[in-house]
């Protein structure tokens, strides 16, 4: 088993455009590569911490325009690595509390 603790202090505001958001994605893509390498080595992976990404409108207190909300690069990345979208990972909070 591999336990990775991650905190990312780069909180992106809704006003940041996608070009600036891509700077945030480089660290999370590196994290994804590390997690996938651990999985490929046969290890279970648990990621704890705070990525400061609200992947779904339910996770935000003010999602605003849903088209713009889902169009951010960091949200697209996180959604892509989730199991329900073909990835390997599960958001345990959302799994146990789907409406909260």
pLDDT (tens digit per residue) in 7-50 = 664 444 444 455 554 454 567 778 888 888 999 999 998 888 77
pLDDT of residue 25: 52
Output 5 or 65, whichever has higher pLDDT.
65
Give backbone dihedrals phi and psi of 89, rounded to 5 degrees, phi first.
-110, 155
Q: Which of 73, 6, 96 is nearest to 45 (CA)?
A: 6
Question: Which of 72, 49, 77 is closest to 60 using CA atoms?
Answer: 72
Q: Residue 2 pLDDT > 50, yes or no?
A: yes
Sequence spans of domains, the chain: 2-96
Question: What pTM does this model have?
Answer: 0.68
pLDDT in tens, 40-99: 999 998 888 777 788 889 988 888 898 888 888 878 888 888 888 888 888 888 889 998
- 1, 46 in Cβ contact below 8 A? yes
In angstroms, the CA 91 to CA 93 distance is 6
Q: What is the pLDDT of residue 47?
A: 83
């Amino acid at each position: 088993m591999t336990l990775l603790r991650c905190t990312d202090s780069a909180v992106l505001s809704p006003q940041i455009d996608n070009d600036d958001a891509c700077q945030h994605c480089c660290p999370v893509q590196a994290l994804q590569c590390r997690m996938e390498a651990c999985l490929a080595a046969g290890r279970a992976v648990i990621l704890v911490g705070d990525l400061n990404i609200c992947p779904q409108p339910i996770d935000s207190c003010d999602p605003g325009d849903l088209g713009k909300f889902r169009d951010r690069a960091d949200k697209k990345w996180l959604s892509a690595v989730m199991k329900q979208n073909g990835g390997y990972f599960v958001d345990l909070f959302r799994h146990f509390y789907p409406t909260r």
